[in-house]
Amino acid sequence: MTEMLSMSNNAPLFVGMMLLKLAVVFGVTMGIVAYATWVERKVIGHMQTRLGPMRTGWHGLLQPIADGLKLFFKEDIIPTQASKVPFLLAPMMILIPALITIAVVPFGPDVTVKGFLVPLQITDLNIGVLYILAMAGLGVYGIVLAGWSSNSKYALLGGVRASAQMISYELAAGITIIAVFMLSETLSLREIVALQSGSVIDWYVFKQPLAFGLFLITGLAEINRTPFDMPEAESELVSGFCTEYSSMKYALFFMAEYANMIVIAAIAATLFLGGWSGPLPESLGVVNLLGKVFAIMFFFIWLRATLPRVRYDQLMQLGWKVLIPLALANLAVTGLVVVLQQ
Amino acid sequence: MFTAIAKGLSITFKHMLPGHSTTVQYPTVKLKPSDRFRGLHRLVPTQDREKCVACYLCPTVCPAKCITVEAAENAKGEKYPRVYSIDLLRCIFCGYCVEACPVEALEMTAEYELANYRRADFEFTKERLLR
């Protein structure tokens, strides 16, 4: 029986493996963030019968690097009337919750290193999903702070909208996920994946199709993507909360947006689509997870190319009058079924 | 609502499939303008000189007043334009000058890449128009 590697049985190896996992997960996430921008521009371009970037490298493949370099060398402007410390803090406060959420997403079966079992997950919190919800809630502080500290009416409106949107949709998202826990009876993502690993039929999407749909919609709203991108509605708010930002701080907002997209896709894949224990054999766990993440991200991009932005009152109406009652009904029915089955 | 969204999604997906792009990669691929396109002017030459007889009809009809003509007589006693120039910055490419010309000495080509760096480069003299 091999032991789970931990701080107490082999500290140097544990720290080493942890750093390795952190580096790999961070690198892969940032790589996906960079190329998600390229894929988004290409896919939306083709959907609008354009080509998207074509000049920088073969079919514009070097575009993310060119964009990164450009933003890096641009002048960093801080408005004179802005509140300096929150203004500097806000982009970090958006990006960091987005990145650290990925820590609880399992991306493969346990591997054996020097006689110890190493889980392919940065950390397995027994309150994993609560942590995800907490971090998702924390992300909006950055947006509100950015909007408020810019000292600009458009930025402030963007920030206020973001907070109102977050309050309306996080509730529905939370209630939606509870239905999954009623079936799994655990909050640990690792165990939720294990419960779905039997076959494709065990995926929670088949037991909770409504919850899956609701989670995708509320997820879209939480990460402020079209059709719910009210906080940065270009047509009315210039660029919303990031109106006054430039240079690398602006780039951080965009990295956070795409990182959030990856997080929502990874969580949806883990909670509803079996995570890494997918259609391919277990040894290809990473491929399974990435395939599902990419599929969901493609769906988000596809929606962006298709749907117009909803109006603010429509957004609120959808959140409070449709999604929350549906999520509550789903919760009640799931609870009833779980009780009757016992 | 859902059928409408599904329909929209199917349309965007169809557009994404290969062969739907309408983009022309401009500097490398160029579209051929229509035969009636009114681009840069051209003075039509005959054997030894331009066809133009310096009748002043084109500067007269020109609504933008961009054509300068100065008539003179050559050795054979024929009237010819000693100076013929078009200020392209003023020209509105209406083609009235071509219509007005009694000897078909002026025509408009398909040339449309006319950007330049200096103001003087837009002054098209007789030598530049005779091509």
Burial of B74 (0-12, 13-18, 19+ CB in 10 A): exposed
To test the contact with chain B by mutation, choose from A47, A314, A322 the residue with the greatest count of B C-beta atoms within 10 A, namely: A47
Torsion angle, CA of A221/A227/A230/A235, rounded to 10 degrees?
170
| A99 domain residue, yes or no | yes
- Is residue A190 scored above 80 in pLDDT? yes
Please list every residue in chain A whose beta carbon sits closer than 8 Å to the beta carbon of residue B9.
302-303, 306
- Is residue A46 scored above 70 in pLDDT? yes
Cα–Cα nearest to A133, from A156, A166, A108 = A166
Cα–Cα nearest to B68, from B110, B93, B107, B97 = B97
| A105 domain residue, yes or no | yes
Six token digits for residue A190 = 């690792």
DSSP string, B95-118: -HHHHH-TT--EEE-S------SS
Task: Write down the pLDDT at residue B88.
Answer: 92
Q: Where are the domains of chain B?
A: 24-129
| A132 domain residue, yes or no | yes
pLDDT bracket for residue A165 (50, 70, 90): confident
Strand order in the sheet with A108-113: A3-4, A116-120, A108-113
Q: Which among A47, A51, A307 has CB closest to B23?
A: A51
Contact status of A305 with chain B (Cβ, < 8 Å): yes
Cα–Cα nearest to B81, from B99, B67, B69, B93 = B69
| A24 domain residue, yes or no | no
Six token digits for residue A28 = 């892969």
Q: Predicted ipTM?
A: 0.73
What mean pLDDT, rounded, does chain B reach? 90
Residue of B nearest to A227 (CA): B5
| A9 domain residue, yes or no | no
Q: What is the pLDDT of residues B47-73, one digit of tens each?
A: 888 888 999 999 999 999 999 999 999
Q: What is the pLDDT of residues A221-273, one digit of tens each?
A: 888 887 888 777 667 777 777 788 888 888 888 888 888 889 889 888 888 88
Number of domains present in the structure of chain A: 1
Burial of A274 (0-12, 13-18, 19+ CB in 10 A): buried
Q: Which DSSP category does A101 fall into?
A: G
Task: Write down the pLDDT at residue A1.
Answer: 57
Q: What is the pLDDT of residues A270-294, one digit of tens each?
A: 888 887 887 777 777 788 888 889 9
Please list every residue in chain B whose beta carbon sits closer than 8 Å to the beta carbon of residue A303.
9
Q: Which among A54, A302, A303 has CB closest to B25?
A: A54
Beta strand A116-120 pairing with A3-4:
parallel
| A162 domain residue, yes or no | yes
Structural domain for A179, as ranges: 76-109+123-341
With 0.90 as the threshold, say if the pTM is over it: no
The class (CATH top level) of B24-129 is alpha beta
Contact status of A322 with chain B (Cβ, < 8 Å): no
- The Cα–Cα gap between A189 and A195 comes to 10
The angle subtended at Cα B28 by Cα B23 and Cα B32, nearest 5°, is 70
Nearest-neighbour CA in chain B from A49: distance (Å): 4
Please list every residue in chain A whose beta carbon sits closer than 8 Å to the beta carbon of residue B12.
47, 302, 305-306
Torsion angle, CA of A44/A49/A55/A60, rounded to 10 degrees?
40
| A232 domain residue, yes or no | yes
Let me know: does B92 contact B19? Beta carbons within 8 Å: no
